[in-house]
Amino acid sequence: MISLRHAISCLLLAAATPASARYRVRLRTPLGIAFEEVEPGKACGVVVADLVDGGNAEHDGRIWVGDRLLSTSAVVLGGDSALLTVGGGRQFTNWKRELIPATAMGFDEIMAAIGSNSGRFGYVDCLLELARTDSSVPR
């Protein structure tokens, strides 16, 4: 569990990013991006650490090493009621894809959100909102 102070500092850092430095990219999966934590061990988002040679992100050309991930599309399971409840587990009748903020999430949560954009739910791409940082460099 993250503290309120930590969550607020992460959100303020993201809000301080000028709108002109933000951009959206829709990439086919696999993305071809290696991410790393902004602050190791803390739920404060991720930055682009590297691009896979010949990968979808490198071919696209808009993503730079050092860019910060602000939000990602993710498949959200839901509905007012579960199709089936067995024990403590539920099987949902529907899902939808949403753009979710990633600046106050941990590494594993972000990777799970990105990974949810899968063929299992009928998706072959992922929408990412990123921002340039002072350490962003083209590859």
pLDDT band at 94 (very low <50, low <70, confident <90, very high): confident
Is 27:57 a contact under the CB 8 Å cutoff? yes
pLDDT in tens, 57-80: 999 999 999 999 999 999 988 755
Q: Sign (positive/negative) of CA torsion 124, 66, 54, 24?
A: positive
Please state the pTM of the whole predicted model: 0.78
Rounded-to-integer distance, Cα 138 and Cα 9, Å: 28
Place of tokens 């790393």: 36
Rounded-to-integer distance, Cα 121 and Cα 130, Å: 24
**The tokens of 67 are what?**
């860019």
